[in-house]
Amino acid sequence: MIIAPLKRLKNKMGKYFVPVLLTLFFLIISGILFSSVHQNDTNYQEGQVAEESIRANKTAENTPVTNQKKELAAEAVVPEYTYQEEISSEQHDLIEQLFDMIDGVRKDSAEENEERREDAEDSDSVNEVTEDEKMAAMKKELEQVDGDDLNFYQKIPDDFYRIAFDLSQDDLAQVKEESLSIIDQQMTEQIQQEDLSEARQDAEQQVEGLDLSSEQREAVSYLVDEGIIVNTFLNEQKTDELKQEAEDSVQPVMIYQGEIIVREGSQIDSSAIQKLNVLGMTEKNQSFFPFVAIILVSLLQIIVLLYFTHPLKSKDERENQLVFYVVAMTLSIVFMKFFQLFQTEAIAYIPLFFPAAFIPLILNLFINRRSGILAAAFQVVLASFIFYESVGTNVLPIILISYMFSGLLGTLLPRKRISHQGQQSLLWIVVFPFLVSIVLLVLQGVNFADSQTWIALACSLAGSILSLLMGVGLYQFIELMVTDDSDIVLNELSNPNHPMLKKLLEEAPGTYHHSMMVANLSANAVAEIGGRTLLTRVACYYHDIGKLKHANFFVENLPQGAENPHNFLLPEDSKQIIFGHVTDGVAVLEKEKMPQMVIDICQQHHGTTLMKFFYVKAKERNSKITEEDFRYPGPIPQTKEAGVVSIADSCEAAVRAMDEPTNEKIKEFVSNLMTDRMLDGQLDDAQLTLKELKIIKKSLIDGLCSTFHSRIKYPKMESEAEKMKEEQERSGQ
């Protein structure tokens, strides 16, 4: 049930009620969230003094700074060079080959000269092989060399060859030896392009220090100058890879949402402007992503809520749950927004004052645990929008985790009145959430000498205590608005001065007394199995209210010695009167707008049991009569409370009618009656277990035995009473 005005509105709007409700919910949630993420248009300029602290409106990479760091990292990479050791041996072999060719030309020239001498008639006029001829022969030798080697030999000047042909064989051999020695020595070192000149200079100095003729030193110099070459080369591919690795190792420079770019009263410098440009905050247009997120989260909550309530078969129950959840979550987000308005850098933890456990707790108690968990989850999601300005700071994680933990713990409490749970509610709602807040603060390395830490702890503790106090204090008022059998209503109905109870006492005193007895028996039994005691008691007070219509046709209301009026009626007429006390009672209770559970117990307290006495009488008169004609209309008890009342009602009436009831008789009767009711299927829908039935039976037997036990007459007490009576009569005379 919902409060009466809203119920009338629901009936009036019909099928449009839920769409309108959810649309309003969407608009309210979106509007409140929009006010939190919306920022005024700004136009920051360098040199401007910030009127308030400027925080980053989103998390983004500071790309220019990141690229600058990558360039520096790449420049810091040492180029990778590769030393080719085989070049040294290649150069050595080339020199060796050069001298072999020179030796060959010299040998050929010598043989040619010998032949010319033998052919000459006059030895004095022999034309020996000239230098040019030797050079030409050398050129022919070089033509036989591979292209790569030829390039090396061509770099050696002709002067070297002329000197080589002029030198004696021993001097040439000395040139060869010294050249190879110097070249091999220099080529063992890593020679890069920029080191080549220095290496050749070192070699020239070595040549100058040789004990050789000038021609020999000149020849050696020619060979050293060409023989010493670069043997260490830049590995561009490897170097590029190293540079890429260096760039990749640079962590992106991030600007986190909520980060303070410029503090209040500080000047906006070029670095701050650069960050604001990256964030797009120097432009007047805002990012639309937060607003899209608001729409999505609002729609998501509505979709989840509809999916959550869809399995419910009852339309009223489904709509009631929707209304309760929508109202509860609207209040929750309004409370969060209220605390966000007071949040400043000085008191950043003020949102911890929000009673995060209250809404999930109430939903758990009045709807079900799943709805409480759902509310706890969405409270955290919505809080991330409400406290949008704190995103990226250490404050927001503490707020969100505290909300989630407090909300979930609120749903773990048993689904009964919170004021009856005492220490358990204190632990789950106050102590444990407060301890978690301490853990979160310690995790972030807070300083307990800092006033901010103590403000955070105080707000967290106050928020937890506020959740508990609101849960205890507002429970009965929430119950009054959303149910028709709240404790306030039931206490009012249990007042003996209630007009209907007074009327029952005056017009049907026997029924009144019977109802009180049944109420005591039923309430005690229901308490034993953990049912709703007060509701059961009140339902018993009114369960026979229908007997007012024909009070004297019920035996408990007949005066002493009066004859039973049913002796003058046909069984069928008696049946209608007896059956009528159920239907008449339901009509009276509905007219008085009694709680539905009270009406249900009145309607179900006889179930579909057989009215045996009148059935037997009718059967004697008409054999065609069936049991179905003399069974109560029902339905059978649908709740534990109704099942207990149906048993207690029959037991009390039967035991009252017993002649000299004893404990054994009462015990046997209650056991037989409960067995008969189970065999007759009267308790099939009452949701009572065998263990609970055993507890109920014991409770009823104890209650009936204590009420209807046989009383022993004590002679001494009787004689004293007679003496007191005689004294009163004498004093009266």
Cα(554)–Cα(589) distance, rounded to whole angstroms? 20
DSSP state of 54: E
Q: Residue 668's pLDDT band (boundaries 50, 70, 90)?
A: very high
Under 8 Å between Cβ of 256 and 35: no
DSSP secondary structure letters along 178-192? HHHHHHHHHHTS---
Return the H-helix or E-strand segment holding 208.
Answer: helix 196-208
Q: In 3-state terms, what secondary structure has residue 60?
A: strand
- Kindly report, residue by residue over 425-458, the tens digit of the pLDDT: 889 899 999 999 888 888 877 677 777 788 888 8
- Which residue, chain included where needed, has tokens 């000269």? 113
**Nearest CA to 583 among 555, 603, 556?**
603
Q: How far is CA 144 from the centre of its chain?
A: 84
- Enumerate residues 6+ apart whose C-beta is below 8 A from 10: 2, 17, 319, 323
- Kindly report, residue by residue over 621-660, the tens digit of the pLDDT: 777 888 888 888 889 999 999 999 999 999 998 888 888 8
- Kindly report, residue by residue over 321-347, the tens digit of the pLDDT: 888 899 999 999 999 999 888 877 667
- Enumerate residues 6+ apart whose C-beta is below 8 A from 374: 304, 305, 308, 325, 363
Under 8 Å between Cβ of 524 and 562: no
- Kindly report, residue by residue over 503-562, the tens digit of the pLDDT: 999 988 888 999 999 999 999 999 999 899 999 999 999 998 988 888 777 777 777 666
- Residue 68, number of CB atoms within 10 A of its CB: 13
Cis-peptide, bond into residue 635, ω within 30° of zero: yes
Token couple for 663: 């404990």
610 bridge partner residues: 631
Is the predicted pLDDT of residue 488 greater than 90, yes or no?
A: no
Under 8 Å between Cβ of 371 and 390: no
Please count the CA atoms within 13 angstroms of the CA of 211 that sit on its side-chain side: 0
Burial class (CB in 10 A: 0-12, 13-18, 19+), 281: buried
* C-alpha to C-alpha distances, 261 to 257, 348, 537, 668, nearest whole angstrom: 10, 18, 67, 85
Is the predicted pLDDT of residue 720 greater than 60, yes or no?
A: no
Q: What is the 3-state secondary structure (H, E, C) of 84-116?
A: CCHHHHHHHHHHHHHHHHHHHHHHHHHHHHHHH
Q: Residue 172's pLDDT band (boundaries 50, 70, 90)?
A: confident
- Which residue, chain included where needed, has tokens 């009462």? 666
For residue 528, what pLDDT is reported?
Answer: 93
Q: Residue 718's pLDDT band (boundaries 50, 70, 90)?
A: very low
Return the H-helix or E-strand segment holding 625.
Answer: none
Residue type, 477: F
Cα(581)–Cα(606) distance, rounded to whole angstroms? 11
